[in-house]
């Protein structure tokens, strides 16, 4: 009886905080340095556009949380902030979490980038190897594996230009290499071959099942930067996951997917401004961004909230028109 009474009391308290959250956050001052996600070494640069988007999203998020938390025995919910690489997921997820915390609704932000099977350097190498391995096989299957073409592909690979679509217009045989390579790469990106979605889903489920604490993975950019931190979750109602693949079909525990929309060109510009990776202008990086973008488009119908690059809330129909 006491346990049931405590659940009802907690729910009433959580709903009351949600009712007051929007008004409280409207006039909330955002400090320059706020807590952010748990990706080691990740730096976030919050600008006025991020703050404006977070303020636009927040009232809609509160309404979504009201429904989800009411239905959960522990008044908990999982939110995913997803979008292309460099679109501002880290910044906006951090802002939403800060706003919830400021309104008295406990929130923790985790980064999905901690859960690939390989550290970034090795994952980047695996992506490129997958593209090239499948491309070469495509040449064999198409019957164009001649010594001349092999030499040409080798030269393109050495120049890191073998994912350049421009060669489709000059070498007819190149299509077999590029298309087979792109398909193989697409079958790797954002799949269990690349990322441990099962572990992420398990964490989300344990959170919604009332876990008082959980171990969260930390993955840096070198072999020695891999560990787990035990996080106290006793006062947390919301788990926010910021991740390109936060709306993936390989996960079942996300309650409120939020899509930050952008084009591959906008994504590339943002990555360049952050100087996050080397060789940002390479044809291979461009291909990866295009394939990831298509996955986001394919999953967009599940998003509960979609916000455009300009900062407007849009419907799925409007999103489809925009992406055409």
- Using one digit for the tens of pLDDT, what is the confidence trace for 218-241? 999 898 999 999 999 999 999 999
All CATH 3.40.50 domain ranges of the chain, comma separated, are: 2-112+219-323
- Using one digit for the tens of pLDDT, what is the confidence trace for 243-290? 999 999 999 999 999 999 986 666 666 666 655 555 556 899 989 989
Q: What is the mean pLDDT of the chain?
A: 90
- The size of the chain, in residues, is 324
Distances (CA, A) of 236 to 79, 102, 211: 13, 13, 10
Break the chain down into helix, strand, coil percent, rounded to 5.
50, 15, 35
Distance CA 147, CA 162 (A): 17
Looking at residue 191, the DSSP 8-state letter turns out to be S
Among 32-36, 122-126, 151-155, which is the least confidently predicted range?
32-36
Instruction: Spell out a b/e string for 44-83, using b for 16 or more CB atoms within 10 Å of the CB, else e.
Output: bebeeebbebbbebbebbbebbbebbeebebbbbbbbbbb
The structure's pTM equals 0.90
Q: Which CATH architecture has domain 2-112+219-323?
A: 3-Layer(aba) Sandwich (3.40)
Q: What is the pLDDT of residue 87?
A: 87
Q: What is the pLDDT of residue 43?
A: 77
Q: What is the pLDDT of residue 5?
A: 41
Distance CA 261, CA 297 (A): 9
């Amino acid at each position: 009886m006491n346990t049931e009474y405590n659940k009802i009391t907690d729910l009433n308290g959580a709903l009351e905080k949600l009712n007051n959250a929007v008004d409280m956050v409207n006039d909330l001052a955002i400090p320059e340095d706020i807590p952010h996600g748990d990706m080691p070494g990740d730096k976030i640069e919050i600008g006025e556009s991020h703050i404006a988007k977070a303020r636009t999203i927040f009232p809609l998020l509160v309404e979504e949380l009201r429904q989800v938390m009411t239905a959960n025995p522990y008044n908990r919910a999982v939110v995913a902030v997803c979008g292309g690489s460099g679109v501002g997921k880290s910044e906006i997820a951090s802002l939403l979490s800060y706003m919830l915390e400021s309104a008295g609704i406990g929130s923790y932000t985790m980064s999905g980038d901690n859960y690939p099977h390989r550290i970034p350097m090795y994952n980047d190498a695996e992506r490129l190897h997958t593209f090239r391995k499948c491309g070469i096989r495509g040449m064999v299957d198409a019957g164009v594996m001649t010594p001349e073409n092999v030499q040409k592909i080798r030269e393109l690979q050495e120049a890191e230009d073998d994912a350049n679509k421009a060669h489709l217009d000059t070498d007819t045989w190149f299509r077999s290499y590029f298309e087979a390579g792109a398909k193989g790469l697409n079958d790797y990106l954002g799949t269990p071959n690349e990322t441990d979605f099962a572990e992420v889903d398990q964490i989300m489920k344990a959170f919604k099942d009332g876990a008082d604490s959980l171990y969260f993975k930390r993955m840096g950019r070198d072999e020695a930067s891999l560990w787990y931190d035990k996080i106290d979750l006793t006062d947390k109602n919301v788990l926010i996951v910021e991740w390109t693949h936060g709306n993936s079909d390989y996960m079942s525990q996300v309650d409120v997917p939020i899509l930050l929309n952008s084009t591959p060109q906008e994504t590339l510009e943002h990555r360049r401004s952050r100087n996050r990776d080397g060789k940002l202008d390479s044809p291979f990086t461009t291909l990866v961004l295009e394939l990831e973008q298509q996955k986001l488009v394919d999953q967009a119908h599940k998003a509960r909230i979609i916000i455009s690059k300009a900062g407007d809330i849009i419907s799925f129909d409007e999103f489809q028109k925009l992406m055409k």
